[in-house]
Amino acid sequence: MAKRIKRPRGRPPLPEHQRKGRILKFRARGDLVSRMQAAAQATGRSVSEEIEYRLEHSFSHERSEERDRELVQEAVAATLSKFGIAPSGEVWSWERRAEHAAKAAAEHERHTRESGVVNLMDALRRQVQAGEQSSAATNKETKKRTGTGDKS
């Protein structure tokens, strides 16, 4: 007598993207239910699908706001450092500014070398000129503060 193969009970499971999610229960106040029903009907979704869509959208919006905040903080820090101000608010001495400019030039040179840009000398020349202008302005301010400048 041949053995009978036992088949599993029920239908086979659906692929992951077609499965229904877990059931969440919550209370809705005011006219939220009627507004959700109207929105679902307008978009051709069920109320459950509309709620899920709106929740997903709110989480992705949160992530983009967080990334925007990070980008703004990075931009502010970069701008402050270009003016010789540390993120702590401390104003850098001319030695510190020179050190920062040298590091920035080295970083720019490394980036330029890695990206294969040939105009390295032009970039360095611009940085030196910017440093000289910054240094001249700093020297002028120092002379004004100390009173050692020309009194014409």
Q: What would the pLDDT profile of 27-72 be if each residue is shown by its tens digit? A: 888 899 999 999 999 999 999 889 989 988 888 877 777 887 888 8
pTM above 0.75, yes or no: no
Q: Mean pLDDT of all residues in the chain?
A: 76
Confidence of residue 152 (pLDDT cuts 50, 70, 90): very low
Whole-number pLDDT of residue 4: 81
C-alpha dist (Å) from residue 82 to 48, 92, 93, 106? 52, 11, 13, 15
Whole-number pLDDT of residue 42: 95
Instruction: Return phi, psi of residue 91, to 5°.
Output: -85, 130
pLDDT at 139 over 70: no
> Roughly what angle, to the nearest 10 degrees, separates helices 32-43 and 47-82?
90
